[in-house]
Amino acid sequence: MRKRMESDDDLIEEAKLRTVWWALCIFAVSYFLTRSFGTVHRADWNGSDVAVKILMEQDFHPERLKEFLREVAIMRSLRHPNIVLLMGAVTQPPNLSIVTEYLSRGSLYRLLHRHAARENLEERRRLSMAFDVAKGMNYLHKRNPPIVHRDLKSPNLLVDKKYTVKVCDFGLSRLKANTFLSSKTAAGTPEWMAPEVLRDEPSNEKSDVYSFGVILWELMTLQQPWSNLNPAQVVAAVGFKGQRLEIPSSVDPKVAAVIESCWVREPWRRPSFASIMESLKLLIKTLPPNQLLEEN
């Protein structure tokens, strides 16, 4: 069981102080994104760019507020080059917010599906981006107990100026206190979700591995997953009919094998992120070095 370094009361008292501090130090300079959980603003703090994610729901009852504080405490404990850095939080309504580092290239989804992505992102760079995601997720899954993302998808992966990818949006994450966590409390996007989650069955960190397989498919094909189906049709196709995205013949067979291993029906047969990292590392070594890209 995870040892609590701080009580809920301690977190609440600290939150009040941090709320005042952030209110004094941060001012929004631009609104740039609407997400399922709320809105995201680019802001300035003492000359540093930050992203302020304002929660859509502000009317938290006491237990929900304590849960939010615990989530913030978990996020605050994470330090990894492929995890978006938490810089602070506003934990008093009506301004419940999470403040993180700002990554200039935006989401991986936006980067992959914009015009001329294939010309700007050669295969080695795209595999390196997949490797970044695997490293970040391996770090989360190696925590004790493991942290399960539960909504891993390209819109929840951010890219910095040097094309380093970082995992973000842990508002839906929960520490896996027992062997399984209930998918009934999970929320995600069907196009990236594992079949067992779509069927509302118990799930664990292997569901994140399935989602990574979709992201790797996305990186290799530069296509949007299940773009021809609506969300309900995706649930039926993946969750109940056992369908998977078609992997084009143009994709390297070794990369295709990694994708397929992530999509195995039985979660326990899917690889760990440590294993995925080893596979990707070998694949990256076989490709020519990245060409220098203009940082625009």
CB proximity list for 206: less than 8 A, separation 6 or greater:
194, 267, 268, 270
Q: What is the pLDDT of residues 259-293, one digit of tens each?
A: 999 999 999 999 999 999 999 999 999 887 764 44
**Residue 43: beta bridge partners?**
28, 50
How far is Cα 25 from Cα 8, in angstroms, rounded to an integer? 25
Determine which one of 44, 59, 132, 151 is catalytic: 151
Q: What is the pLDDT of residues 117-145, one digit of tens each?
A: 888 899 999 999 999 999 999 999 999 98
pLDDT value, residue 175: 38
Task: Point out the least confidently predicted range of 8-12, 64-68, 89-93, 131-135.
Answer: 8-12
**Residue 88: beta bridge partners?**
99
What amino acid is encoded at 272 in this protein? S
CB proximity list for 204: less than 8 A, separation 6 or greater:
146, 148, 176, 179, 180, 181, 267
CB proximity list for 183: less than 8 A, separation 6 or greater:
196, 197, 200, 201, 202, 203, 207
Tell me the domains of the chain and their CATH numbers.
11-101 (3.30.200.20), 106-286 (1.10.510.10)
Known catalytic membership, residue 200: no
